[in-house]
A and B are shown apart, each in its own frame.
Chain A
Amino acid sequence: MMREIIIFVIAIALAPFIGGFLNGIDRKLTAFIQGRYGPPVWQPFYDVIKLLYKQKILVNDFQVFSAYIYLLTAILSIGLFAIKADLLMILFVMSVGLAFYIAGALSTKSPYSQVGAQRELMQMLAYEPMLIFFAIAVYNVTGSFNLGQIMKHGRLLFDLPLMFILLGLVLTIKLKKSPFDLSTSEHAHQELVRGILTDYSGPYLALIHIADWYEMILILAMIAILWSQNLLIGVLIALATFFVDIVIDNITARMTVKWMLAFSWSISILFTIINIAYIYFRR
């Protein structure tokens, strides 16, 4: 018990630093691809610290609660992941925060944030089933949802090659990268202003950024456990996926909501079924 609490605390303390650092690398790399010099790798930390100490401006009280619960559930899910809890439960916890995050944006009456929130809902609709599919596929290999038992299975990657691709897709959608940067319009596009983030500001925006880092780490960790025999290799695979996502982000244009839904659903259902059939075939 004591050991688990220590791991929990270490994980939730470490995750934002890794997340912020990865975000910095992301920005630097993007700049490199675009032929720019780019900001320092520590830039995300400057941004977040600055936001934390800016003045609070509020539209309503609910958005404060939304920001906090989004952050706290993200923290909880990372912590639960670290102490090897139930994979499905972690996904459920994550989705609670997400629902509040979206409802908080919907509740401010700005048209931009509302449209952004609607699109985020669609994104959620696109990737949430995929994550559950992933959990189900993992169950079909390992016979358990418990991360401790899942991680005994050394090299899940060989069993779940297609699910790995799906997780990469989830990462792209989750990080709101092109071609799925629908809800916030990342980079310099501003037709939606900042979409779902429009009315979250100052310290609350900082909370959401931190929560996003946590969630990014969560997805990367899910990729990493596909090679749990040697977690270092797992981490490298996760980082490689992250890198590929950045490249995809820079070479694709944004697609529509409808395309995203059709694409992600058909791909995910198809891949899941083929992959699970493949598992049984391998036996």
Chain B
Amino acid sequence: MQSNLLLLSILFPMVAGIIVFFLRQPSVRKGFIGVSLSVIVLLSLIILGSLKVPDVFNSPTYYNGMDIAIKIGDFVLLLYVLYISFKIKEWRATFFAVLQLVPLIYFEFFMLKEEEVAVFLVDELSIIMNLIISIVGSLIALYAFGYMDHHEEEKHVSPTRQPRFFAIILVFLGAMNGVVFSNNLMWMYFFWEVTTLSSFLLIGHDQTEETIKNAARALWINMMGGFALLLGIIFIYTNYNTVSLVDVLSIKESAYILLPMFFIAFAAFTKSAQMPFQSWLLGAMVAPTPVSALLHSSTMVKAGIYILLRFSPLFRGTMLSDFIAVYGAFTFLATAFLAISQSNAKRILAYSTVSNLGLMIASIGINTSSAIAAAILLLIFHAISKALLFLCVGTIEQHIGSRDIEDMKGLINKMPITAAITFIGILTLMAAPFGMLVSKWLILEVAANQIAVSVVLAIGSALTALYYTRWIGNLLSGTYFSKRSEEHMNVNIGISLYSLTVLAIVLSFMISSLYNMLVMPQILTMKMDVALKAAKGYLYTTSGGFMIYPIFITIGLAIVLSLTSIRKAAKTAVKVSPYNAGLNYIEDKGFDVKNYYLTTFVTEETLTKYFNYISIALIVVILGGAIL
């Protein structure tokens, strides 16, 4: 019964996606998608409520059928990638597709002995991922209703390509569930490749030259990652004779495990767009915004983090782990650096996504129980806040026709609701006491005796604060004399933005129960001592503690005080224009003060070049750590 539930959470979105593809009537299609999304959310909640985890789930009835279907699927998928790569003349993708095909054929037909393994492995981590995928994913898809209509109108797309769009989104949701639930590594590999393909198809959705170019880049880099993953699996199989995740995780004798771990980590790096591979994620920003929100910030790139977290017990305490920590920290710093030279909001978000993923990888590399907890917390909060911000930027872009933060000056007067939500979204990313910052605090505490990592993290945090603060400043700028206009928000967009905002704030507020309910059991599942305790908004370890309620109270107090102050001032205060050396300040005329982008310090191209070299060197070092 329970394994059927899990299977349903994978197959239902996929089947629904295929049906959507053939629904041409807009209202029918929207209704159908809406129903499917609510089913997906419901399924995830039922899974959360009814499953006793951690556990493995067997189901002999359909195992063989599924296994064969997936094997066929593997080849179909790779051949399709080959076909695409010929069509768009992206030979690197061809190269990696062939590179995967050859070992795959060899592995499937000559090495792999047919034996039945458990179908699903579910623990709290899978549940957390599943919740993120289902709830955040559904909210983003809901947002896409409003967004895509506007998008197609703007780009004069006719006939509508929305069936394709939503079909891929739904299939993608199913595939993500597949990645996080599968116990058979070959199944995981298949779903992993499906997400790569959906990413490619969605980036290229607009079918312009630029989108296809960027989609091709995403394809070949991720195919490279897929190749690494396959190699990792094959290495594991040759040494340990198993493709079952549970068995792999219970391996005691770890002499041969590090090399496959390196390949899996490499796959994770490509999927999570870590430093030399970040270019695909930046290129992916040409996709419609819901895609950036769904695939490229909250779910798909988290697959890399997921898989690294999943295997982290296997390389705990090794040199490989330490090097991964340094590498992640470096990516965190380097991309934060690159982000400060950007004024394009989506690029800022993309860089900061890579940066935060780097932070997660760093803390997985530190690999103590608190560090793992920090990584999981970060994963949750980042998914919500970043999705929210992407959606906000999408809304803003459709209204003002620009995604430049300089053009967002005075947005609070033009689009009060969206600007306010964006403001809150940024706060949840950069300011204590919200979840992101609590996790960051935790990482800094656990990283403190690894000097290289902690120094890098300290600088990176300051840079992060820099680029978000000035964005807030731009959003909220305005005077009493600015022209105000009301904002009319599409219902779907509104629902999705509001729910994500509420989710981000409420989850931060309940961080201690969240930790106790989902994160701590996961730590226990991974057989570690729990160092971090949480109670009533107070998270503490032996070396320190973080109280969130005092800060919430302070912010609340500030709101109350300032509101009373403004109310009182309404009678007596004078509303003046900003100081402009005695001249009259005329809005939108004359001068404009731009933010400092430190372009004398950081230019994107040169820095990217050097950072890429360094990061490649670091990867080589990680490889060294794996071999030695």
With A93-B551, A96-B431 as contacts: A107 and B476 at CB distance below 8 Å: yes
Q: Is B499 on the interface with A (CB-CB < 8 A)?
A: no
With A93-B432, A199-B578 as contacts: A124 and B462 at CB distance below 8 Å: yes
Query: Contact partner of A58 among B465, B573, B591, CB < 8 A?
Result: B573
Question: B572–A55 contact, CB under 8 A?
Answer: yes
Question: A106–B544 contact, CB under 8 A?
Answer: no
In the assembled complex, the Cα of A69 lies from the Cα of B551 at a distance in Å of 10
Question: A60–B550 contact, CB under 8 A?
Answer: no
Q: Is A144 on the interface with B (CB-CB < 8 A)?
A: yes
Task: Write the A129-163 contact mask toward B (1 if CB under 8 angstroms, else 0).
Answer: 10011011001100111100100000000000000
With A86-B544, A118-B595, A129-B458 as contacts: A107 and B473 at CB distance below 8 Å: yes
Cβ < 8 Å to A, chain B residues 439-498: 441, 444-445, 448-449, 451, 454-455, 458-459, 461-463, 465-466, 468-470, 472-474, 476-480
Question: A92–B432 contact, CB under 8 A?
Answer: yes
In the assembled complex, the Cα of A112 lies from the Cα of B542 at a distance in Å of 47
Which A residues are CB-close (under 8 A) to B461? 128-129, 132
Question: A105–B473 contact, CB under 8 A?
Answer: yes
Count chain B residues whose beta carbon lies closer than 8 angstroms to a beta carbon of A: 69
**Distance (whole angstroms) from the CB of A123 to the closest CB of chain B:** 11
Cβ < 8 Å to A, chain B residues 562-610: 562, 565-566, 569, 572-581, 585, 587, 591, 593, 595-596, 600-601
Question: A136–B578 contact, CB under 8 A?
Answer: no
Question: A92–B437 contact, CB under 8 A?
Answer: yes
In the assembled complex, the Cα of A96 lies from the Cα of B441 at a distance in Å of 13
Which B residues are CB-close (under 8 A) to A144? 542-544
- Chain A contact-residue range equals 35 or more
Which B residues are CB-close (under 8 A) to A121? 466, 469-470, 596
In the assembled complex, the Cα of A61 lies from the Cα of B554 at a distance in Å of 18
Which A residues are CB-close (under 8 A) to B437? 92
Q: Looking at the complex, which of A23-31, A72-80, A230-238, A244-252 is the stretch in contact with chain B?
A: A72-80
Q: Looking at the complex, which of A14-22, A216-224, A268-276 is the stretch in contact with chain B?
A: A268-276
With A68-B558, A273-B455 as contacts: A124 and B465 at CB distance below 8 Å: yes
Which residue of chain B is the closest to A202 with respect to CB atoms? B573
Which B residues are CB-close (under 8 A) to A55? 572-574
Q: Is A261 on the interface with B (CB-CB < 8 A)?
A: yes
Question: B575–A117 contact, CB under 8 A?
Answer: no
Which B residues are CB-close (under 8 A) to A102? 469-470, 473
Q: Is B99 on the interface with A (CB-CB < 8 A)?
A: no
- Identify the interface centre among A59, A62, A109: most chain B CB within 10 Å of its CB: A109
In the assembled complex, the Cα of A212 lies from the Cα of B545 at a distance in Å of 26
Q: Is A51 on the interface with B (CB-CB < 8 A)?
A: no
Which B residues are CB-close (under 8 A) to A205? none
Which A residues are CB-close (under 8 A) to B601? 258, 261
In the assembled complex, the Cα of A50 lies from the Cα of B437 at a distance in Å of 38
In the assembled complex, the Cα of A272 lies from the Cα of B469 at a distance in Å of 27
Q: Is B561 on the interface with A (CB-CB < 8 A)?
A: yes
Using a CB–CB cutoff of 8 Å, the interface residues on chain B facing chain A are 409-410, 412, 430-432, 437, 441, 444-445, 448-449, 451, 454-455, 458-459, 461-463, 465-466, 468-470, 472-474, 476-480, 542-547, 550-551, 554-555, 557-559, 561-562, 565-566, 569, 572-581, 585, 587, 591, 593, 595-596, 600-601
Inter-chain pairs besides A109-B587, A122-B596, A258-B600, 17 sampled, C-beta below 8 Å: A58-B575, A58-B576, A60-B477, A61-B566, A65-B562, A72-B554, A88-B544, A89-B432, A99-B430, A110-B580, A124-B466, A125-B463, A129-B455, A132-B461, A144-B543, A203-B565, A258-B601
Using a CB–CB cutoff of 8 Å, the interface residues on chain A facing chain B are 55-62, 64-65, 67-69, 72-73, 76, 80, 85-89, 92-93, 95-96, 99, 102-115, 117-118, 121-122, 124-125, 128-129, 132-133, 135-136, 139-140, 143-146, 149, 193, 198-199, 203, 257-258, 261, 265, 269, 272-273, 276
Complex A-B: 25 CB contacts under 8 Å = A55-B574, A58-B574, A58-B575, A64-B565, A68-B558, A69-B562, A72-B555, A72-B558, A86-B546, A89-B545, A92-B432, A103-B473, A104-B473, A106-B470, A109-B409, A109-B585, A110-B579, A117-B473, A128-B458, A129-B459, A132-B462, A136-B455, A139-B449, A140-B449, A146-B543
Nearest 6 CB-CB pairs, A to B? A106-B473, A145-B544, A110-B578, A132-B458, A56-B573, A86-B544
